[in-house]
Amino acid sequence: MTHAWNFSAGPAALPPEVLKQAQAELLDWHGIGASIMEVSHRGKAFVSVIEEAEADLRELLAIPDNYRVLFLQGGASLQFAQVPMNLSAGQSADYLVTGSWSKKAHKEAARIGAARLVATTKEEDGSFTRLPDIERLAFDKNAAYVHLCTNETIHGVEVFDEAEARLFETLAQTAPGVPLVADMSSHILSRPLDVRRYGLIYAGAQKNIGPSGVTLVIVRDDLLERAGENVSAQLSYRKQADNGSMLNTPPTFAIHMAGLVFKWLKARGGLAAIAAINREKARRLYEAIDRSGGFYRNAVDTVCRSAMNVPFNLPTPELEAQFVKESEAAGFIGLKGHKSVGGIRASLYNAVPLEAVEALVGFMEGFAARG
> CB of 97 within 8 A of CB of 237?
no
The reply to whether 207 belongs to the active site is yes
What does the alpha-carbon distance between residue 169 and residue 197 come to, in Å, rounded to a whole number? Answer: 10
DSSP 90-117: T--EEEEE-SHHHHHHHHHHHHHS-EEE
Q: Which of 207, 264, 281, 336 is catalytic?
A: 207
Q: How far is CA 221 from CA 70, 168, 208, 241, 242, in A?
A: 12, 20, 25, 10, 11
Residue 242 CB partners (closer than 8 Å, separation 6+): none
> CB of 360 within 8 A of CB of 346?
yes
Q: What is the pLDDT of residues 254-278, one digit of tens each?
A: 999 999 999 999 999 999 999 999 9
The reply to whether 221 belongs to the active site is no
Give the per-residue pLDDT at 1: 46
Beta strands in 112-184 (DSSP E): 115-120, 146-149, 151-152, 157-158, 180-183
> CB of 184 within 8 A of CB of 150?
yes
Give the per-residue pLDDT at 78: 98
* Arithmetic mean of pLDDT, 230-246: 94
Question: Distance of alpha carbon 268 from its chain centroid, rounded?
Answer: 20
Q: What is the pLDDT of residues 165-180, one digit of tens each?
A: 999 999 999 999 999 9
Give the per-residue pLDDT at 2: 65
* Arithmetic mean of pLDDT, 325-330: 98
Q: Has residue 134 got a pLDDT over 70?
A: yes
DSSP 262-314: HHHHHHTTHHHHHHHHHHHHHHHHHHHHHTTTTSSB--S-GGGB-SSEEEEB-
The Cβ-side half-sphere exposure at 244, using a 13 Å CA radius, reads 14
What is the residue type of 284?
Answer: R
Q: Has residue 215 got a pLDDT over 90?
A: yes
Helix (H) or strand (E) holding 358: helix 354-370
Phi, psi dihedrals of residue 81, rounded to the nearest 5°? -95, -35
Q: What is the pLDDT of residues 13-60, one digit of tens each?
A: 999 999 999 999 999 999 999 999 999 999 999 999 999 999 999 999
97-121 per-residue burial string, b: 16 or more CB within 10 A, e: under 16: bbbbbbbbbbebbeeeebbeebbbb
Q: Has residue 118 got a pLDDT over 70?
A: yes
Q: Has residue 354 got a pLDDT over 50?
A: yes
% of the chain residues with pLDDT over 90: 96
Q: Residue 78, exposed/middle/buried by CB under 10 A (0-12, 13-18, 19+)?
A: middle
* Arithmetic mean of pLDDT, 288-303: 98
The chain-wide mean pLDDT, for the chain, equals: 97
Give the per-residue pLDDT at 47: 97
Q: Which of 29, 94, 103, 183 is catalytic?
A: 183
Q: Which of 5, 29, 56, 101 is catalytic?
A: 101
Give the per-residue pLDDT at 233: 92
* Arithmetic mean of pLDDT, 217-238: 93
SS3 53: helix
The reply to whether 183 belongs to the active site is yes
Q: What is the pLDDT of residues 142-168, one digit of tens each?
A: 999 999 999 999 999 999 999 999 999
